[in-house]
Amino acid sequence: MHKVIVLDDLAQEGLDLLAAAEGVEFEVRTGLKGDDLRDALNAFDGAT
C-alpha cells in the first residue's frame, strides 16, 4: 500500500482519483510548515 500526503488544495476530482486508485491511501494535510512538514513527508511515500 502506498501512502500519499496531499499538501495543497486539490480539486475534488483529484481526490476522487486518489480514492479510486488501488493500493493507494491518502491523507489531506494542508498548511504544514517547518518540522511538521518534514515529519509528514518522512511518514509518506509520496506527496502532491
Q: Residues 1-10: pLDDT tens digits?
A: 999 999 999 9
CA distances 41 to 12, 13, 19, 20, 32, Å, are 22, 23, 20, 22, 10
Query: What value does the mean pLDDT of the chain take?
Result: 95
E-state strands within the chain: 2-6, 24-28, 46-47
Question: Which pLDDT value is given to residue 28?
Answer: 96
Residue corresponding to grid cell 509518506: 44
**Domain count along the chain:** 1
Residue 36 has pLDDT above 90, yes or no: yes
* Interatomic CA distance for residues 37 and 21, integer angstroms: 24
Range of the domain at 29: 2-47
Taking the model in full, what pTM does it have? 0.84
- Mean per-residue pLDDT for 20-43? 95
Q: How large is the average pLDDT for residues 20-47?
A: 95
